[in-house]
Amino acid sequence: MRVYSTQKDDLADILARKYSETADVSTAVTTIIDRVKADGDQALYQLVKEIDDVTLDSLTVTKEEIADALKATSPELIKVIEQSKANILAFHQKQVRQGFVSTEENGVVMGQRILPLARVGVYVPGGTAAYPSTVLMDVLPAKIAGVKKIVMVTPTDSEGKVPAAILATASIAGVDEIYKVGGAHGVAALAYGTETIPKVDKIVGPGNIYVATAKKMVYGVVDIDMIAGPSDVLIVADHSANPRWIAADLLAQAEHDKLAQAILVTTEDALIEKVQKEVEQQLAALPRKEIAAAAIENNGKIILVQNLGEAISIANEIAPEHLELSVSEPFALLGKVENAGSVFLGHHTPEVLGDYFAGPNHTLPTEGTARFYSPLSVDDFVKKSSYLYYTEEAMNAVGEAVELFAETEDLMGHARSMKVRREEKE
Amino acid sequence: MRVYSTQKDDLADILARKYSETADVSTAVTTIIDRVKADGDQALYQLVKEIDDVTLDSLTVTKEEIADALKATSPELIKVIEQSKANILAFHQKQVRQGFVSTEENGVVMGQRILPLARVGVYVPGGTAAYPSTVLMDVLPAKIAGVKKIVMVTPTDSEGKVPAAILATASIAGVDEIYKVGGAHGVAALAYGTETIPKVDKIVGPGNIYVATAKKMVYGVVDIDMIAGPSDVLIVADHSANPRWIAADLLAQAEHDKLAQAILVTTEDALIEKVQKEVEQQLAALPRKEIAAAAIENNGKIILVQNLGEAISIANEIAPEHLELSVSEPFALLGKVENAGSVFLGHHTPEVLGDYFAGPNHTLPTEGTARFYSPLSVDDFVKKSSYLYYTEEAMNAVGEAVELFAETEDLMGHARSMKVRREEKE
């Protein structure tokens, strides 16, 4: 891992991150979306054949397939999924908010209602990125919000099958309908609807560059959660940190993706060499060592800082998806953290606890977007609607002021809407 | 206005809406964004000259210009702006939410913090759509959220001046910095930053097709509020409604834009002709009658329904930006409303009260996006960050479950991050 020091190196060099040369797939995705809009199901069957090389008899996952998937899943795993589900529900239940109303003495009433989205689409990637945990994280907040219909789309294997763990988890999470279509075509189906797949109000979930591009293109037709890039972790460590544990956490991030980012920021010069050695040793034993090694090579960094305040300043600049505070007094730093998707406090809270189990969401803002995006939450599955009521007297009391404002904007029709009511008292 | 009846006409015909043939400006906008990214301020000066035909000495609105604008604004108008500001602050203050924490008996602590965005950019259109009220609506929720820096960009007139009412309102609202650049170039400056204009975390505010396209293109680099289209109103009226008032409210909407939508849904056959006549008469007296007449021609409709339940069903299908319930018992219908940006209850609550004065936000979802978007609110100017703390004992208690989940996903590095801690107890 490259080593930097805030004493010697330029901040811009320290912060530089390597991204892939992302091909511009927008022409291909535009064509896919147009085909799905024009030909619906027929386009989906053709695109699944052309792009995924799969011949489907039906787009719909049947009840039998789900029952088979549940049977094929070990009772131990089902128990773990159920525990994780309970933890996620308990945490997200705390995000539920009420509307409000203000009732004033002059008879004016105004407020804000909070209403669930009617239909939500959850995109679940296939292949090596087929994660049951993501199904739980994306579906359960929608259930709590009261979404009436949750529709999942996901690509199949070459035989037209969805992995059993995905189907079993979808069933446990309470997905209403599952369809066998991924990629940009899956996103297009959710955004515009087809004969079989219902049009939704919002699409959530991670995916490859085709999925991300399609999500951005349909944004506005439907809402989307965020545009997700490669995952990242930033670990702040002091003298109390365990180099073996830190190396394991850096590698857990690195095994996701060749462009994943794994950064250690430490006040301890002595820790650096130890972590380097541990990363080397542990890497050799990883099944996904090729990916992890590439990520460490591309975006693995160790940054030596003067003190923990400086460490947090760097974390705030980077705005990590995951921030581990592997320090003796982690809670003392929390109030300084301005930009981070999720913060893991202390030596016994590895990110993996949050990835799978503890309760907070693992769908988090990547690539520094924690500056403005938030972890997926119940808020993502509701909309707000405001309301206002004036009595005749209350309206007349402010009529002149409102007309003056409207006239200032040269909107005489707006002023008239008030004037006709003031002229003709009931 | 065209008249439909749910008894005779097809729902699809009733709901059809006319949009403009929007030119694809994405090539032009891509070039503009690239130029601003590459050449910063220099590109801005050139683009303002090329596109807006204005030669600027400086991009920055000075303190003197703001002081002059305040002097040029009548005390009466300043008083109205201050009243409106107080009402908007009072309403939006109720949207402020606290984070939460869950402290469990086994020592586990987890929660969610709510943090203000650091820097926000407010886009304020120029020309006939230069609305001081929009400055209040877009800036004040950001102030309440605690945003540290609010940057406004807006085009100037041909002499390089911003309208006094806009500058005065920006000053009253508490904008920190104002720059004289509009269009896609203004959006690009906020998204990427230049020597003079700071890069922000989120861009809010309405604009023309160039602005909307630029906002969509930079979405992900920064956050945006929404993609706004032509404004609309839907009025539900029963026997108690006043045709003159309804006509005035339809026209207030219609005067915004030739593609604005103004719909009356009524149970009263007798009301239809009266409203038609009033629209005709009042239209003739409107300064913006050309725009309003076009809007009425394009998207003006009267829909006759069997009962108020059916009226609300149609409203829910259309998901109006503004919904007026001009009925004798408006509160009785509120619970049936699923999709509407803002609801105006009763005969003495014309939309104009909300546009300028009452407190709820007037930046609302258009074109049916109230299905999933919300009125602009304090929530738009904060982000959330979750946190998690486990003790050694609590971690060990769930270690096996977490490892099983990680192994199911073939992420052995994730499993190892737990395993190394369980092997080496402290």
Contact between B355 and B375 (Cβ < 8 Å): no
Q: Residue A183: which region, alpha, beta or left (left: phi > 0; alpha: psi -120 to 50)?
A: left
Handedness of CA B342, B348, B350, B352 (dihedral sign): negative
- For residue A342, give the nearest of A311, A320, A372 by alpha carbon: A320
* Chain A residue at shortest CA distance from B359: A110
Say whether A358 and B392 touch across the interface (CB within 8 A): no
Amino acid of residue B413: G
* Average pLDDT of span B269-275: 97
3-state secondary structure of A197: coil
CB distance A418–B223 less than 8 Å? no
Q: DSSP letter string over A256-274?
A: T-TT-EEEEEES-HHHHHH
Cβ pairs A/B, distance under 8 A: 378
Q: Which of B355, B392, B394 sits opposite A414 (nearest CB)?
A: B355
Kindly report the average pLDDT of chain B as a whole number.
Answer: 95
Q: Which residues of A touch B353 (CB under 8 A)?
A: 388, 390, 395, 398, 402, 418
- Chain B residues with CB inside 8 Å of A409's CB? 130-133
pLDDT band, residue B425 (cuts 50/70/90):
low
Burial class of B8 by CB neighbour count within 10 A (0 to 12, 13 to 18, 19+) = exposed
Domain boundaries, chain A: 2-19+231-358, 26-224, 390-423
Task: Choose, out of A383, A398, A418, the residue to mutate when testing the contact with B (most B CBs < 10 Å).
Answer: A383
Tens-digit pLDDT profile for residues B303-314 = 999 999 999 999
DSSP track, B55-80: --S-SBPPHHHHHHHHHHS-HHHHHH
Of the candidates B251, B222, B224, B246, the residue with the CA atom closest to the CA atom of residue B236: B246
Write down the architecture of domain A2-19+231-358 according to CATH. 3-Layer(aba) Sandwich (3.40)
Q: Is B239 a catalytic residue?
A: no
Cα B302 to Cα A25: distance, rounded to the nearest angstrom: 44
Mutate to test the interface with B, among A390, A392, A410, A424 (most CBs of B within 10 A): A390
A24 by DSSP, 3-state: which? coil
CA distance A169 to A61: 14
Nearest alpha carbon to residue B83 among B362, B358, B360: B358
Q: Which residues in chain B are contacts of A338 at CB distance < 8 A?
A: 115, 118
Are A369 and A86 in contact, with CB atoms under 8 Å apart? Answer: no
Q: Which two tokens stand for residue A262?
A: 């794994």
Alpha-carbon span A97 to A273, nearest angstrom? 48
Average pLDDT over residues B75-79: 96
Q: Can you give the pLDDT at residue B222?
A: 96
Which tokens sit at B319? 């998901």
Q: Mapping DSSP to helix (H, G, I), strand (E, B) and coil, where does residue A113 land?
A: strand
- Per the document, the length of chain A is 426
Residue with the two structure tokens 């705390």: A94
Residue A223 scores a pLDDT above 70: yes
Q: B413–A80: do the CB atoms touch at under 8 Å?
A: no
Instruction: Give the span between the Cα atoms of B283 and B203, in whole angstroms.
Output: 36
DSSP string covering B116-156: E-SEEEEE---GGG--HHHHHHHHHHHHHHT-SEEEEE---
Q: Report pLDDT for A81.
A: 96
φ/ψ of B17, rounded to 5, equals -130, 145
CATH architecture of B229-372: 3-Layer(aba) Sandwich (3.40)
pLDDT at B115: 98
Q: What is the rounded distance in angstroms from the CA atom of residue A385 to the CA atom of residue A52?
A: 41
A409 and B202 within 8 Å at the Cβ level: the answer is: no
CA A99 to chain CA mean position, Å: 25
pLDDT at position B330? 98
Q: Which residues of A touch B220 (CB under 8 A)?
A: 216, 226-227, 369
Spatial separation of the C-alpha atoms in residues B290 and B258, rounded to whole Å: 8
Neighbouring CB atoms inside 10 A of A383's CB total 28
AA letter at B87? N
Query: Residue A232's closest CA among A356, A315, A313?
Result: A315
Give contacts of A132 with chain B, Cβ < 8 Å.
405, 408-409
Q: Which of A22-31, A178-187, A237-246, B287-296 has the lowest mean pLDDT?
A: A22-31
Report residue A28's pLDDT band, with 50, 70 and 90 as the boundaries.
Answer: very high
Q: Using the predicted structure, report yes or no on whether residue B128 has a pLDDT greater than 80.
A: no
pLDDT value at position A21? Answer: 62
- A420: region left, alpha or beta (phi > 0 left; psi from -120 to 50 alpha): alpha
DSSP state of A290: H
How sure is the predictor about A424, in pLDDT bands with cuts at 50, 70 and 90? confident
- For A10, counting Cβ atoms within 10 Å of its Cβ (0-12 exposed, 13-18 middle, 19+ buried), the class is exposed
Strands A119-123 and B322-326: unpaired
Query: Is residue A138 a contact partner of residue A170, using CB atoms and an 8 Å limit?
Result: no
CA dihedral (A132, A136, A138, A142) in degrees, to 10, reads 150
For residue B216, what are its two tokens?
A: 């969509």
pLDDT tens per residue, range A83-127: 999 999 999 999 999 999 999 999 999 999 999 999 999 999 987
Amino acid letter, residue A275: V
Residue in A closest to B370 by C-alpha: A383
pLDDT, residue A126, reads 87
Q: What is the DSSP letter of B273?
A: H
Distance separating alpha carbons of residues A95 and A101, to the nearest angstrom: 19
Residue B145's pLDDT band, with cuts at 50, 70 and 90, is very high
| pLDDT at residue A426, rounded to an integer | 55
Answer whether A345 sits within 8 Å of B83, measured CB to CB: no
Q: Which two tokens stand for residue B155?
A: 């085009």
Band the pLDDT of A372: cuts 50, 70, 90: very high
**Would you say residue B18 has pLDDT above 90?**
no
What does the DSSP 8-state code read for residue A200? -
d(CA B381, CA B192): 19
Could you give the C-alpha distances from A19 to A13, A26, A129, A259, A367, in angstroms and in order? Answer: 15, 18, 19, 6, 10
**3-class DSSP state for residue B341?**
coil
Active site positions of A, annotated:
321-322
| Other CB atoms within 10 Å distance of the CB of residue A46 | 14
A109-116 and A100-103 beta bridge pairing: antiparallel
Angstrom distance (rounded) from CA B17 to CA B260: 10
Q: Which is catalytic among the residues B321, B324, B351, B367? A: B321
Task: Kindly report the backbone phi and psi dihedral angles of residue B112, in degrees, each rounded to the nearest multiple of 5, phi listed first.
Answer: -140, 125
Q: Cβ neighbours of residue A321 under 8 Å, at least 6 residues apart?
A: A231, A232, A233, A340, A341, A342, A364, A365, A366, A370
Helix (H, G, I), strand (E, B) or coil at B122: strand
Distance from CA of B185 to the nearest CA of A (A): 21
Range with lowest mean pLDDT among B5-19, B114-128, B339-353, B387-401: B5-19
Helix (H, G, I), strand (E, B) or coil at A39: helix
pLDDT tens digits, A382-415: 999 999 999 999 999 999 999 999 999 999 999 9
CA–CA separation, B305 and B236 (whole Å): 10
H or E segment and range at residue B289: helix B289-299
Which residue, among A131, A249, A387, A404, would best test binding to B if mutated, counting the most B CBs under 10 Å from its CB?
A: A387
Half-sphere exposure of A159 (CA within 13 A, CB side): 3
Q: How far is A3 from chain B (nearest CA, A)?
A: 22
Tell me which residue in B84, B360, B421 faces A110 most closely, judged by beta carbons.
Answer: B360
Give the Cα separation of A165 and A131 in Å (integer): 8
The correct answer on CATH 3.40.50.1980 for the domain covering B26-224 is: yes
Phi, psi of B20 (to 5 degrees): -75, 155
What is the separation, in whole angstroms, between the first and last Cα of chain B? 78
**What kind and span of H or E run contains B83?**
helix B75-93
B185 annotated among ligand-binding-site residues: no
Binary contact (B359, A227; C-beta < 8 A): no
What's the gap between Cα B13 and its chain centre?
Answer: 28
Question: Which residue of B296, B416, B425 to mutate against A (max A Cβ within 10 Å)?
Answer: B416
Report chain A's terminal Cα–Cα distance, integer Å.
78
Which residue in A has a C-alpha nearest to residue B164's C-alpha?
A408
> Residue A304: how many CA atoms within 13 Å on its side-chain side?
15
Report residue A170's pLDDT band, with 50, 70 and 90 as the boundaries. very high
Local structure of A308: helix, strand or coil: helix
pLDDT score at B21: 62
Q: Hey, are the CB atoms on B348 and A390 less than 8 Å from each other?
A: yes
Read off the pLDDT of residues B187-236 as tens digits, 9 standing for 90 and up. Answer: 999 999 999 999 999 999 998 889 999 999 999 999 999 888 899 999 99
Residue B253 assigned as binding residue: yes
Residues on chain B touching A86 (C-beta within 8 angstroms): none
A349 contacts B395? CB cut-off 8 A: yes
CA distances from B199 to A12, B40, B116, B150, B191 (A): 16, 11, 16, 11, 5
Check: CB of residue A244 under 8 Å from CB of residue B424. Answer: yes
pLDDT of residue B426: 55
Residue in the block written with tokens 């396209």 = B213
Residue A414 in marked binding region: yes
pLDDT of A158 higher than 80? yes
Residues of chain A with Cβ-Cβ distance to B327 below 8 Å are: none
Three-state DSSP class for A130?
A: coil
Nearest Cα neighbor of B40 from B179, B152, B149, B139 is B179
C-alpha–C-alpha distance, residues B214 and B117, integer Å: 21
Exposure on the CB side of residue B151, measured as CA atoms within 13 A: 28
